[in-house]
Amino acid sequence: MSQTTNSPSLAAPKRLVIASRESRLAMWQAEHVRDCLKKLYPDCDVQILGMTTRGDQILDKALSKVGGKGLFVKELETALEDGRADLAVHSLKDVPMVMPEGFDLSCVMAREDARDAFVSNDYASLEDLPKGAIVGTSSLRRESVLRAKLPHLEIHPLRGNLDTRMGKLDRGEYQAIILAAAGLKRLGLESRIRAYLPYDPYTPAAGQGALGIETLSKHPNIKQWLAPLNDLPTLFSVSAERMVSRQLGGSCEVPLAAHAVWDQSQMQIRSFVASVDGKAICIANGNAQVRSIEDAEALGLVVAKDLLAQGAADLIPKIAK
Ligand SMILES: NCc1[nH]cc(CCC(=O)O)c1CC(=O)O
């Protein structure tokens, strides 16, 4: 993944098929990748293969209860294996921390706004919500911080694609909902954002706001063709975040947050592991010079060790210690 220039000896691709989920956000992301590839390789025929995943079908349960991450990527991986597609585009947040055998996270593209957003028709911010107001989120991470900071609020589950979630808010099922700002901005719904939640304490999930492209390990050419799409600051940041998450079991069955920023070789990272009720929390911050993916992962490891030293493992159901 560290390669960011195209090998001059490799001929341009003739045809590339992108596997994508069919939600509006997933299609936006696939079209974005298609447009970038068309710019790089004007003579290449770039197609999008849309498909429904189990994560899109099961809408009545919290993600953490139905298999979590991986749920949105499995069908796309099958399309790669079967040769129906060459690359799969994912929200990086949904990509498992440990890639399955035979698959690589080949490319990480520039990050959108990584923050969580407050969306409401009647209130301007979380702080304005009255006692008993219903806030929609199915993220255990968001729920944990909300319960700790604003215990007078009611947290109710909220699943489905972005349009479904907005519809539920607009029908009055919730007084407010919390969503990733990235998805809203990509779909032109930025004007619905009433407030941005600060990174402290509302730290995002590892990879939030970034796009990841997955390919088969046995097709190194495709990885090389994608290399120019990598964004170095994002790649460094998410490498650190994903290392923290990986060390802590990498599931979404536990409130786990990790967010890093990289600028001019300096990286800062904030991470927490908490209980869903918000009563217990381990927080670790890191700061280091980072000039490579290895440096970024090393910082992620330090932060993970800090969390574990504070007893984070006790908050995680099935972590292999
Ligand atoms: N877990 C679902 C998911 N995966 C990616 C995004 C939003 C876009 C992104 O973070 O890149 C969302 C929705 C949300 O958290 O509101």
ipTM of the complex: 0.95
Task: Give, for ligand 1, the residue of 91, 174, 189 to mutate: max count of ligand atoms closer than 8 Å to Cβ.
Answer: 91
Minimum mean pLDDT range among 22-31, 130-139, 184-193, 244-253: 244-253
Query: The domain 116-196 is classified under which CATH number: 3.40.109.10, 3.10.580.10, 3.40.50.12280, 3.40.190.10?
Result: 3.40.190.10
Of 90, 78, 76, 84, give the one whose Cα is nearest residue 30: 90
Task: Give, for ligand 1, the residue of 208, 211, 237, 245 to mutate: max count of ligand atoms closer than 8 Å to Cβ.
Answer: 208
Does the pTM exceed 0.80?
yes
Q: What pLDDT was estimated at residue 122?
A: 97
pLDDT at 282 over 80: yes
Q: Which residue has the higher pLDDT, 225 or 7?
A: 225
Reported as a pLDDT band with limits 50, 70 and 90, residue 65 is low
Task: Give, for ligand 1, the residue of 24, 93, 118, 197 to mutate: max count of ligand atoms closer than 8 Å to Cβ.
Answer: 93
Residue 94: active-site member: yes
Reported as a pLDDT band with limits 50, 70 and 90, residue 171 is very high
Q: Which residue has the higher pLDDT, 138 or 2?
A: 138
pLDDT at 253 over 90: no
Q: Which ligand 1 atom is at minimum distance from the Cα of 91?
A: 11
47: amino acid identity, one letter: Q
Q: Which ligand 1 atom is at minimum distance from the Cα of 92?
A: 11
Using a 6 Å cutoff on CB, does residue 209 contact ligand 1?
Answer: yes
Using a 6 Å cutoff on CB, does residue 182 contact ligand 1?
Answer: yes
For the chain, the 3-state helix, strand and coil shares in percent, each to the nearest 5, are 35, 25, 40
Q: Calculate how far, in angstroms, residue 13's C-alpha sits from the geometric centre of ligand 1.
A: 30
Reported as a pLDDT band with limits 50, 70 and 90, residue 3 is very low
Domain 231-311: CATH superfamily is: Porphobilinogen deaminase, C-terminal domain (3.30.160.40)
Mean pLDDT, range 78-93, rounded to an integer: 96
Domain residue ranges of the chain, discontinuous segments joined by +: 1-109+210-230, 116-196, 231-311
Mean pLDDT, range 158-167, rounded to an integer: 93
Sheet strands side by side (includes 176-180)? 154-156, 134-136, 176-180, 116-119, 193-196
Using a 6 Å cutoff on CB, does residue 179 contact ligand 1?
Answer: yes
Reported as a pLDDT band with limits 50, 70 and 90, residue 245 is very high
- The active-site residue, picked from 94, 104, 113, 295, is 94
Q: Is the peptide bond between 201 and the residue preceding it cis, with omega within 30 degrees of 0?
A: yes
Using a 6 Å cutoff on CB, does residue 138 contact ligand 1?
Answer: no
Q: Which residue has the higher pLDDT, 320 or 275?
A: 275
pLDDT at 55 over 70: no
Mean pLDDT, range 85-105, rounded to an integer: 95
pLDDT at 237 over 60: yes
Reported as a pLDDT band with limits 50, 70 and 90, residue 52 is confident
Using a 6 Å cutoff on CB, does residue 91 contact ligand 1?
Answer: yes
Using a 6 Å cutoff on CB, does residue 23 contact ligand 1?
Answer: no
Mean pLDDT, range 275-292, rounded to an integer: 97
Does residue 137 come out as left (phi exceeding 0), alpha (psi in the -120 to 50 range) or beta? beta
Q: What pLDDT was estimated at residue 112?
A: 97
Reported as a pLDDT band with limits 50, 70 and 90, residue 9 is confident
- Closest Cα to atom 5 of ligand 1: 91
The rounded distance, in Å, linking the Cα atoms of 95 and 24 is: 18
Asked if 1-109+210-230 and 231-311 have one fold, the answer is no
User: How many other C-beta atoms can be found within 10 angstroms of the C-beta atom of residue 60?
Assistant: 9
Q: What pLDDT was estimated at residue 60?
A: 62
User: How many other C-beta atoms can be found within 10 angstroms of the C-beta atom of residue 114?
Assistant: 24
Domain 1-109+210-230: CATH superfamily is: Periplasmic binding protein-like II (3.40.190.10)
Q: Which ligand 1 atom is at minimum distance from the Cα of 209?
A: 11
**Cβ 138 vs Cβ 157: under 8 Å:** yes
Using a 6 Å cutoff on CB, does residue 113 contact ligand 1?
Answer: no
pLDDT tens by residue, 254-272: 899 999 999 999 999 999 9
The rounded distance, in Å, linking the Cα atoms of 309 and 28 is: 41
Furthest C-alpha separation in the chain: 64
pLDDT at 20 over 70: yes
